[in-house]
Amino acid sequence: MIKLTIDGINLEVEAGKTILEAASAAHIKIPTLCYEEGLTIYGGCRLCVVEVEGERLLQPACATEAKEGMVVKTNTPQVREVRKTLFELIVASHDISCQLNCLTCSKNGNCELREAAEIIGISEMRLLPIDKGYGEDWSSYSIVREPNKCITCGRCIRKCEETQGIGIFTMANRGPATIVTTYGDKGMGNVECTNCGQCILSCPTGALHEVYHYEKVWEVLNDPKKHVVVQTAPAVRVAISEPFGGDPGTIATGQLVSALRRLGFDRVFDTNFTADLTIVEEGTELIKRITKGGALPLLTSCSPGWIKFIEHFYPELLDNVSTCKSPQQMFGALAKSYYAEKNEISREDLVVVSVMPCTAKKFEAQRPEMAGDVDYVLTTRELAQMIKTAGIDMEKLEEGEYDQLMGTSSGAADIFGATGGVMEAALRTAYELITGQELGMLDFKEVRGLTGIKEAEIEIGDLKVKAAVAHGLGNVRHLMERIKAGEEFHFIELMACPGGCLGGGGQPSPTNQHVREKRMKGLYNIDSLKELRKSHQNPYITKVYEEYLGEPGSHKAHQLLHTEYTARGV
Amino acid sequence: MQETLFLKHRESENIKDYPFSALKKALAMEPAGVVAEIKKSGLKGRGGAGFPTGVKWELALQEEADQKYVICNGDEGEPGTFKDRYLLEGTPFKVLEGIIIAAYACGAEQGYIYIRGEYDGPIRIFKKVLESAREKGIIGPNVMGSGFSFDLYLVKGAGAYVCGDETSLINSIEGKRGKSRIKPPYPITKGLFDRPTIVNNVETLAAAAEIINQGAERYLSLGTEDSRGTKLVCLSGDVCNPGVYEVEFGQVTLQEIIYDLGKGIKNNRPLKFVVPGGISTQVLTEQEIDIPYTYEDIAEAGSGLGSGAVVVVADGHDLVDLMLNVSRFFMDETCGTCFPCREGNRQVYHMLKKVNGNLNEEKSRIIADIGKTIHLAARCGLGQTSLNFINSVLKKFENELIVRGDS
């Protein structure tokens, strides 16, 4: 342990900790912009500079290791003065204009620049803003870049490269012309971007945000000719209260349903329903591949970020990917066929909107294979915006119930939103379908939690199923390399985002490890409180097979619920 | 007034005529002995920072690693500095000798010489030097039959001033963006390809070779306690006789360098100020230059000896224009990584550009504030010193500049 003093407080911290970490342990807040927990230290913004006794110059708290006997001062006239000037410099480079574009910014509610200004106590801006004059990047279906707002802190670069293992971003040019861009300035839609949106969560400003669909959704909601149905992904319910001041992980399923109804959606359905359906279809596929032969390991297909990843980086393994559409797209397909036919609504008049914790879902919805089954995809953030615009007091809403037939789901579907959840849901169903016996203990703890790669061997009758779970594309890449090296598995769950969908790129800011843990807890609580906890026992799933699809894996099921992939390469 | 010739000498272009006597001497010693000799000499790094060379080598020798590197920094970018070019063109064998001695002393079997991309001549010359040295067994396996193996590669810079900073230079050799690394770890422990690396300036290495050749005692007899030996001074600007001069520390004043060696100001104009160590150092006025040319005396006067570039500026220049010129340089050359340096230099440039004869107190204070912030908070030496010139001009000629604004 290292003993040091920060602002007169005597502290003991582990060797190797930085001044910033030590200060945080002592509940001293030092402003930062380029620092992000879990990413390498960049030391660029210099907002965290502090005085260290014996040092001539100020030292960056994020990049300076705590040393025995160190005397640190984080709040001196010199530090305050330097931070103020620094902040003026940063803001002058950040496209703040007399058009008050702060107000129209995607981060107007949670801008880290604003937070820093609040901490530093900015009272004057003496510098003229510099117009950098860059164009916006609208090449992607999922993500927009506004480089004029970029302060080149490099967090998106590091997130993409270090956490996600991809690296579509880079710094280009030199000096003040330094800019974050994509390879050859091609734009995010024309490089190997998986659309995961983790960069959006990392961006301290509004330089990155999703391609908004909410204006379009308002339009169709106001069009009396349109019948608008909405589906909500599992991870949304444990995050939607955050923008309204709620704790991460607060279970707000009922309020979510009520809010959507108040917004004017004609039917409020649950993506969970098709998550259950996915399990039945994918479980059937897994059993078939194991017993009758087929490409193994079977790789899950729910996460569109992961799908784009494998299409780019491991196209040779595309045969291993389950042909099941994701729950969002299964819902869209069923809504536009089964639901539309049953209720005699024409395809043109039916609008399917989904609320997703995900930016990649926007890309997925427009894939040609998906035939426009889902019209608009809102992120959790966009929905929160709509609820605010409508003046709905989210916290005070009564709890509503999902509409039927596509509103009932098992607890197995809720945990889809957490890493390991799809695996666990599949195991619950596969066990009973294969053995014909009831599963006693439903919790597969070995696939739960935030460890990057989780492995388990599960005995199902005579079969030993070797399973693995990876979340965050950096971990996914490691696992893919192991598969390529010949390691054998039967079934692997892969999610593009750290923590699974609950940590998705469409979730509210901040999304960090602490928040992910709380949202995860919320999802497992929902599951444990439900009577119905196995997908194949969902009576409405049985009904939809009886009424429409026939049996799992049937021709019709294949037509509607399965898809194919594109080898994209790099 | 005469030069003290320790380093400067004429070298034959043919490697056969160069005796490599320092190298032979070094190879006959233990590496620790070579380090001790350099340490004893008190030689300081001549790139600008002035870190004791012997201490650097000693730390490198103590490092244990499967591979160590020595890098000769020839990315001479500080405006007004051209002594490395002079050495690379005039005495390349001595530079080579210095590199090999450094490598032998620290246990590095591979080295790089990084030469500024614009230095066509030195690059051409050193390419030939490397070829002939390899042929002659001066580099390669078993250097001069000593059993020590060393190979040296030439890397051409791509035009970034920041790559003169050792960690940025290392990034550049690795093929990465030229930007400084966070220290620690220092290159001594984790440098090129994450291995222990010493980076020394061209002049430092040439001096090291000559110290081994002539002995530390001889070097110790030159200069002052804090500034040992001699220094190559690059005299430029409004002087009659610009050029590279070798002076013994403490034996001449800055004034004498300008008026005796440089033969005074062009057209006998009055002196406005002198930049005593390259444009990242503070300017000194006529009243401030009657001081011995040493690290300590120039520091005492509030500036730095830096790389040895003495730029003389006569009266009659537009001060704002000069500041704008320097500002433009730093704005273009900041690597763009840290905010104070990138945005500070950009803002100062834009402010000066808009001055238009109206430099008021407020603007001057903002520039001073930015200067302070950059100095205290920037990530590397480039940033920390980038506003030294401008702020010292603003401070020392404030009356003149502000008066000019009021008129």
The answer as to whether B252 is a domain residue is yes
Structure tokens that stand for A273 in this block: 């329903």
Q: Is the pLDDT of residue B407 over 80?
A: no
Pairwise CB contact (< 8 Å): B377 & A90: no
Mind listing the pLDDT tens digit for each residue in B330-366? 999 999 999 999 999 999 999 999 987 778 888 999 9
Residue B284's CB: how many other CB atoms inside 10 A?
24
> Domain containing A155 — which CATH number?
3.30.70.20
Please determine, for residue B405, whether its predicted confidence score (pLDDT) is greater than 50.
Answer: no
Alpha carbon distance A420, A406 (integer Å): 24
Name the band, by pLDDT with cuts 50, 70 and 90, for residue B23: very high
Q: To the nearest whole number, what is the mean pLDDT of chain B?
A: 95
Residues A269 and A258 in one domain: yes
pLDDT at B53 over 70: yes
Q: Please enumerate in sequence order all residues whose Cβ is within 8 A of that of A420, keeping only pairs 6 or more positions apart, or say none.
A: A444, A447, A448, A449, A454, A469, A471, A493, A500
Q: Note the pLDDT tens digit of each residue in A170-223.
A: 999 998 999 999 999 999 999 999 999 999 999 999 999 999 999 999 999 999
Distance CA B79, CA A496 (A): 50
Q: Are residues A162 and A66 in the same domain?
A: no
In chain B, which among 139-178 make CB contacts under 8 A with chain A? 160, 177-178
Same domain, A170 and A237: no
CB environment A204-230: b (16+ within 10 A), e (fewer):
bbbbbbbbbbbeebeebbeeeebbbbb
* Domain identity same for B203 and B251: no
- For residues A196 and A244, membership in a common domain is answered with no
Together in a domain, B27 and B82: yes
Smallest Cα distance from A85 to chain B, Å: 6
B8 in any annotated domain: no
Please state the rounded mean pLDDT for residues A550-569: 95
Q: Kindly report the CA angle at A299 between A293 and A305, in degrees rounded to 5?
A: 155
Assess if residue A137 is contained within a domain: no
User: Active-site positions of A?
Assistant: 282, 285, 302, 322, 361, 364, 369, 501
Domain that holds residue B76: 15-220
A297 domain residue, yes or no: yes
Share of chain B above pLDDT 70, in %: 99
Query: Is residue B162 a part of any domain in this protein?
Result: yes
Same domain, yes or no: B187 and B249: no
Q: Which amino acid is at A4?
A: L
Q: What is the CATH number of the domain that holds B191?
A: 3.40.50.11540
Res B406: pLDDT: 45
What is the count of structural domains for chain B? Answer: 3
Q: Which two tokens stand for residue A293?
A: 């032969």
Is B337 within 8 Å of A57 when comparing Cβ atoms? no
A86, A120, A154 - which closes a domain: A120
Same domain, A78 and A221: no
How much is the pLDDT for B404? 47
Mutate to test the interface with A, among B376, B382, B384, B387 (most CBs of A within 10 A): B376
Which pLDDT score, from 0 to 100, does residue B359 have? 86
A293 and A166 within one domain = no
State residue B378 phi and psi, 5-degree precision: -70, 160
Tell me which chain A residues have a C-beta less than 8 angstroms from the C-beta of B372.
Answer: 81-82, 85
Per the domain annotation, does A505 fall within a domain?
yes
Is A108's pLDDT higher than 90? no
Q: Are residues B280 and B325 in the same domain?
A: no
Subunit contact B347:A130, Cβ cutoff 8 A:
yes
Give the pLDDT of residue A291. Answer: 87
- Tell whether B284 and B368 lie within a shared domain: no
Mean pLDDT on B266-279? 96
Structural domain contains residue A132: no
Question: Of B336, B375, B377, which is closest to A174 when you measure between CB atoms?
Answer: B336
Q: Is A382 helix (H, G, I), strand (E, B) or coil?
A: helix
Confidence of residue A100 (pLDDT cuts 50, 70, 90): low
CATH number of the domain that A71 lies in?
A: 3.10.20.740
Domain final residue, candidates B314, B342, B365: B314
Q: At what angle do helices A327-334 and A271-292 cross, to 10 degrees?
A: 110
To test the contact with chain B by mutation, choose from A174, A180, A181 the residue with the greatest count of B C-beta atoms within 10 A, namely A174
* A85 contacts on B by Cβ (under 8 Å): 369-370, 372-373
Residues A76-99: tens digit of each pLDDT: 999 999 999 999 999 888 877 656
- Has residue B107 been placed in a domain? yes
Task: Tell whether B361 and B343 lie within a shared domain.
Answer: yes
Which of these three, B314, B334, B365, is where a domain ends? B314
Confidence of residue B403 (pLDDT cuts 50, 70, 90): low
Nearest CA in chain B to A45: B339
pLDDT at A109: 84
Residue B373 placed within a domain? yes
Distance CA A483, CA A331 (A): 31
Residue among A85, A171, A178 whose CB faces B373 most closely: A85
User: Among B296, B314, B332, which residue terminates a domain?
Assistant: B314
* Separation between Cα atoms, residue A516 and residue A503, nearest integer Å: 6
**CATH, residue B296:** 3.10.20.600
- Contacts A–B by Cβ distance under 8 A: 103
Average pLDDT, chain A: 95
Do residues B281 and B376 share a domain? no
Chain A positions touching B345 (Cβ under 8 A) are: 175-176
Residue A134 belongs to some domain of the structure: no
Q: Helices B31-41 and B202-214 sit at what angle, rounded to 10 degrees?
A: 100
Q: Reading across the β-sheet that carries B151-156, which strands appear in turn? A: B151-156, B110-115, B69-74, B197-201
Return the SS3 of A465. strand
| Residue B306 within a domain | yes
SS3 content of chain A, % helix, strand, coil (to 5): 40, 15, 45
- State both tokens at A128: 């003229």
A166 and A235 assigned to the same domain: no
Substitution target from A86, A128, A132, A205 for chain B, most B beta carbons within 10 A: A86
Q: Which residues of A touch B331 (CB under 8 A)?
A: 175-176
Tell me the pLDDT tens digit for each residue of B64-108. 999 999 999 999 999 999 999 999 999 999 999 999 999 999 999
Does residue B153 sit in the same domain as residue B48? yes
For residue A457, what are the β-bridge partners? Answer: A466
Taking Cα atoms as reference points, which of A204, A19, A213 lies closest to residue A105? A204
**Which B residues, 174 through 213, put their C-beta within 8 Å of a C-beta on chain A?**
177-178, 182, 184
**Residue A138 is assigned to a structural domain of this protein:** no
Quote the ipTM score: 0.89
B306 with B336, same domain: the answer is: no
Of B340, B347, B362, the CB nearest to A46: B340
Question: Is residue B206 predicted with pLDDT exceeding 60?
Answer: yes
Residues B32 and B83 in one domain: yes
A363, HSE (Cβ side, Cα atoms, 13 Å): 28
User: Hey, is A338 helix, strand or coil?
Assistant: helix
Cβ distance of A127 and B331 shorter than 8 Å: no
Q: What's the structural domain count of chain A?
A: 3
Contact A178 B337 (CB under 8 A): yes
- Same domain for B264 and B331, yes or no, is no
- Asked if A111 and A148 sit in the same domain, the reply is no
Range of the domain at A180: 143-212
Tell whether A423 and A452 lie within a shared domain.
Answer: yes
Q: A365 and A431 share a domain?
A: yes
Q: Does residue A163 sit in the same domain as residue A227?
A: no
Q: Are A331 and A269 in contact (CB under 8 A)?
A: yes
**Residue-wise pLDDT tens digits, B175-193:** 999 999 998 899 999 999 9
Residue A232, H or E segment: strand A227-232
Each residue's pLDDT tens digit, A222-251 = 999 999 999 999 999 999 999 999 999 999
Interface subset of B 339-368, CB within 8 angstroms of A: 339-340, 342-347, 350, 362, 366
Mean pLDDT of B35-49: 95
Structural tokens at position B301: 């006067």
Residue A46: closest C-alpha in chain B: B377
Q: Are residues B84 and B136 in the same domain?
A: yes
Instruction: Calculate how close chain B gets to A345, using CA atoms only, in Å.
Output: 57
Written as one letter, the residue type at B361 is E
Mutate to test the interface with A, among B182, B190, B349 (most CBs of A within 10 A): B182
| CATH code, A397 | 3.40.50.1780
3-state secondary structure chain B: CCCCCCCCCCCCCCHHHCCCHHHHHHHCCCHHHHHHHHHHHCCECCCCCCCEHHHHHHHHHHCCCCCCEEEEEECCCCCCCCHHHHHHHHCHHHHHHHHHHHHHHHCCCEEEEEECCCCHHHHHHHHHHHHHHHHCCCCECCHHHCCCCEEEEEEECCCCHHHHCHHHHHHHHCCCCCCCCCCCCCCCCCCHHHCCEEEEEHHHHHHHHHHHHHCHHHHHCCECCCCECEEEEEEEECECCCEEEEEECCCCEHHHHHHHHCCCEHHHCCEEEEECCCCCCCCEEHHHCCCECCHHHHHHCCCCCCCCEEEEEECCCCHHHHHHHHHHHHHHHCCCCCHHHHHHHHHHHHHHHCCCCCCCHHHHHHHHHHHHHHHHHCCCHHHHHCCHHHHHHHHHCHHHHHHHHHC
Structure token digits, residue A284: 């059937």
Q: Is A364 helix (H, G, I), strand (E, B) or coil?
A: helix
Q: Residue A414: what pLDDT?
A: 97
Q: Does A205 share its domain with A220?
A: no
A57–B377 C-beta distance less than 8 A:
yes
Residue A402 maps to a domain: yes
Q: What is the rounded CA–CA span in Å between residue A3 and residue A290?
A: 58
Cα end-to-end span (Å), chain B = 44
Q: Rounded to an integer, what distance in angstroms lies between the CA atom of residue A521 and that of residue B163?
A: 50
